Amino acid sequence: MVSALGMTAVLGGCGVTGGSADVTLKLVAADYGDSAANSSEKYWDKLVDEYEADHPGVKIDVSVYSWNDIDRKVREMVAAGDPPDMAQIGAYADYAAQNQLYKADDLLSIPVQADFVGQLASAGQVKGVQYGMPFASSTRVLFYNKTLFAKAGITPPKTWDDLADDADALKDEGVKYPYALPLGPEEAQAETMQWMLSGGGGYTDTVDSYGIDSPENIDTFSWLKNELVAKDLTGPVAPGELNRAAAFSAFAKGEVGMLNGHPSLMKIAAKRGVEYGMVPTPGKEGPSKSTLGVADWMTAFRKNGHRDQVGDFLDFVYSEKNVLAFSREYDLLPVTSSASRTMAASDRDRHLKPFLEELVSSELYPVGKTSWADVSAQVKKQIGKAVAPSGSPSGVLGHLQAVATRAESAE
């Protein structure tokens, strides 16, 4: 997902070696791979080897964790008083509010910082100051299995009712997951927001206050519970126990009729020979007017110092060559304007063009709120209960709203 920081980006190699003493920079990064064969460890190993060859006084120590664990790992390191120099994580604002992070303009060269997609750069700000450097981005569309749809004699859905009807037809054909609804802890906040947007809601209201228990959101999750989950149209695994990676894997095995997916699912499905189609996310009465945009963030902690070395390394990380290599490896979207233009014009990347076009008008998580990390963590833990047989959508969403309100008040 990283994007090519540009054609004008200043590459690493500016002679920053930490003086006569060696410097070791610790980086904690997330794993975007779906197997050991394409683990992000391989990407970072190659990049670090190249950087260290030109910077003999600087060592980069990279630890890669799954998305299930990385935010918690970084929190534990910070709480123990031993933060990494850099962390590539899902939320940054709470650390910025505690003055634990470097500002982006204290680290990056001007061409690199200026090349970020404007919407993403703005989302990386707290009170007008950028602390979160977008590292990866994606949008979401509805994927469907063309073979299973043809067998069931159905067409891709445009509305919620279409989706329920299609799921029912797929169930009659013995499809294991007519619709895969991953509300497990890995990335439940994404599936949640995608459905909220399709119902005309979202995490926040028009004045940027939390509105998790809005009537629109309650209606959305009531519909999910009653029309999909209660009718056994979401598969043998309960939504609250189904993680995104498992849902993607099941789609690649031909076991899923439909699910929300981001660009990397294309490669996963193609490797297994699944014929898939993609359509805009169905909404209550037609295609959803809003698309979920997701960005992950590179951050740099102040405690250990090494500002110059960190900045030089990040300029190298965000070089166009490295950003494009990452984006293409994992079929994710670039976060810089130059890389977006390069990919949009490249025949090699034509399969990503629909996602690139949607990024500009997508809606992102409220990551600029310092409370978002806590709220997101609670969504991951609780939202699956909203659609469980004994669950109450209004009760669960009301609980999450109370959590969000307390978190906001504590700022």
Backbone phi and psi for residue 205, each to the nearest 5 degrees, phi listed first? -100, -170
Cβ neighbours of residue 230 closer than 8 Å, sequence gap 6 or more: 389
Residue 9, pLDDT score: 30
- Tabulate helix, strand, coil % of the chain (nearest 5): 45, 15, 35
In this structure, the strands spanning 141-145 and 133-139 are unpaired
Q: Which amino acid is at 361?
A: S
Nearest to 299 by CA among 79, 66, 97, 13: 97
Cβ-contact 142, 278 below 8 angstroms: yes
Residue 340, pLDDT score: 85
Q: How far apart are CA 381 and CA 240, in angstroms?
A: 8
CATH fold of 139-292+367-409 reads: D-Maltodextrin-Binding Protein; domain 2 (3.40.190)
Nearest to 387 by CA among 249, 202, 195, 204: 195
Number of neighbours of residue 110 by Cβ within 10 angstroms: 10
Q: What's the pTM? A: 0.76
Residue 8, pLDDT score: 28
SS3 (DSSP) at 272: coil
pLDDT tens-digit profile of 377-390? 999 999 999 999 99
- For residue 301, the Cα-to-chain-centroid distance in whole angstroms is 21
Cβ neighbours of residue 255 closer than 8 Å, sequence gap 6 or more: 175, 176, 177
Task: Please give the CATH number for the structural domain made up of 23-137+295-352.
Answer: 3.40.190.10
Residue 411, pLDDT score: 63
* DSSP 8-state symbol, 315: H
Q: Which amino acid is at 140?
A: R
Q: Which amino acid is at 321?
A: K
Query: Quick check: do 23-137+295-352 and 139-292+367-409 share a fold?
Result: yes
From first to last of its 411 residues, the chain has per-residue pLDDT tens of 333 222 223 333 333 433 434 899 999 999 988 778 888 999 999 999 999 999 999 999 999 999 889 999 999 999 999 999 999 998 898 899 899 999 999 999 999 999 998 888 888 998 889 999 999 998 899 999 999 999 999 999 999 999 999 999 999 999 999 999 999 999 899 999 999 999 999 999 988 899 999 999 999 999 999 999 999 999 899 999 999 999 999 999 999 999 999 888 988 899 899 999 999 899 999 999 888 988 999 999 999 999 999 999 999 999 988 988 898 888 889 888 888 889 989 999 988 887 887 787 788 899 888 888 889 999 999 999 999 999 999 999 999 999 999 988 876
Nearest to 278 by CA among 297, 255, 251: 251
Residue 91, pLDDT score: 83
DSSP letters of 196-240? HHHTT--SB-TTS-B-TT-HHHHHHHHHIIIIIITTT-S-SS-GG
Q: Would you list the domain boundaries of the chain? A: 23-137+295-352, 139-292+367-409
Cα dihedral 137, 379, 98, 73 in deg (nearest 10): -80
